[in-house]
Amino acid sequence: MSEPGEPATPAITVEGVTKLYRRTLPGDRLRTLKSALVGRSLTRGLRPEEAISALEGVDFTVGRGEAFGLIGGNGSGKSTLLKLVAGMLKPTTGRITVAGRVAALIELGAGFHPEISGRENVFINGAVLGLTRRQIEARYADIVEFSGLGDFMEEPVKNYSSGMYVRLGFAVAVHTDPDVLLVDEVLAVGDEAFAHRCLRRIEEFLASGRTLLLVSHSLDLVEGVCDRVLWLENGHQRLVGEPRRVIDAYRQEVAEKEGEEHKAAKEQRQEEATTGEASELRWGSREAEITSVRLLAGGEERYHLESGEPVVFEIRARAARPLDDFVFGVAVATPRSIEVWGTNTDLEGYVPGTFDGEATVRLTCPALRLGPGDYVVDVAVHSKDGAPYDYQRRALAFTVTARDGGIGTYLPEHGWEFGGGVRWAGRKGLGPGS
């Protein structure tokens, strides 16, 4: 699925690209050697059970001067696609066209020889990227200054930390004056100060009309830097378009999958609790017993919520004998046991009458304004003095997403107002004047 209006001047064109890998099967080493000797493709004519599809039918165009992001889960094909654009791999079918010089920062330490010095690696790496020795000599001081590795350039690269690898690799890549820069997740390895320096350089790079193809799991980084984004899932192209729209769709699907996982985990915990296999998460006299716990949103059981949605915590319980001393409680916390919110019927003034047989208790929240993140829920029925009849720790878990930014566990309804001399060019994802 893509947006209308392809770039007028393409820098990268990917047309119907599929990439297959051969599965490792008994006798593969012999077949691989034979195929190589006779010049055959290792993936041509493979049966479906012999092949792994890394990418299938991918189509997009990146314009000159555009920052284009690739997002998706692990194994979705992002790094494979970047290597295809870099020319490190060839597509099984389809075609990729790149206009101009390409520099790639894809794998940590790729292109570096560990036994030789940083200085020697700069010259080798620069030559691989198409520079003459004279050009490298002219830019060497700038490369060293940008990397911040002046005291380590004569050291063998094998002694470098992962962050130092990234510093040197990025410094060489951006000083080769590429028309297209390919950057994988490796930027996340560097320290914060160097990351800011890289981002400033990327902005300068884009302002000069050159092109960036960025892979990152940092969705905020992708949204802040990129003009358009492609979402890959299991090698298939899910969505291409404006960053906010694509990233919101991706986050929504991830959260929904997490919600299904939470539901399955809740059912497993309840089964274990019934059979007594999870005693460390459940205790009490069982004079009253909680038989099920559900989170309801929009009238259905759901464990992915948008912040501010109305929700219901539903407890079903059973009293083995008539009780006149009982309290129902619910507590929400983070997975690291930081308390977020909790209440019970006693705190809110409910005076017990009788509890006998089956009962359903619902705690209704018209707007659960939690910040984005994962949460767990404890539920209990106990006496007024706190003696537990049935306490279930982490009885369920759920995920919250939010369209508006914020940090922390509370996301109140809010808005900004401005006066005087402050003006904004727009809001990310909303356009000018929004």
Neighbouring CB atoms inside 10 A of 354's CB total 10
Report yes or no on whether pTM surpasses 0.75: no
Q: What is the pLDDT of residues 365-376, one digit of tens each?
A: 999 999 988 999
Could you identify the residue written with the tokens 């949204």?
223
Residues of the chain with CATH 3.40.50.300: 64-90+102-251
CB-side neighbour CA atoms (13 Å) of 144: 17
Q: Domain 253-401 - what CATH class?
A: mainly beta
- How many residues comprise the chain? 434
| 308: phi then psi, degrees, rounded to nearest 5 | 95, -5
Q: What is the CATH number of domain 64-90+102-251?
A: 3.40.50.300
Cα–Cα dist 172/275, whole Å: 61
Q: What is the pLDDT of residues 69-123, one digit of tens each?
A: 999 998 899 989 999 998 989 999 999 999 998 988 776 566 788 899 999 999 9
CA angle 179, 183, 185 (to 5 degrees): 175
Q: How confident is the model at residue 433 (pLDDT cuts 50, 70, 90)?
A: very low
Least confident of 3-12, 131-140, 150-159: 3-12
Residues of the chain with CATH 2.70.50.60: 253-401
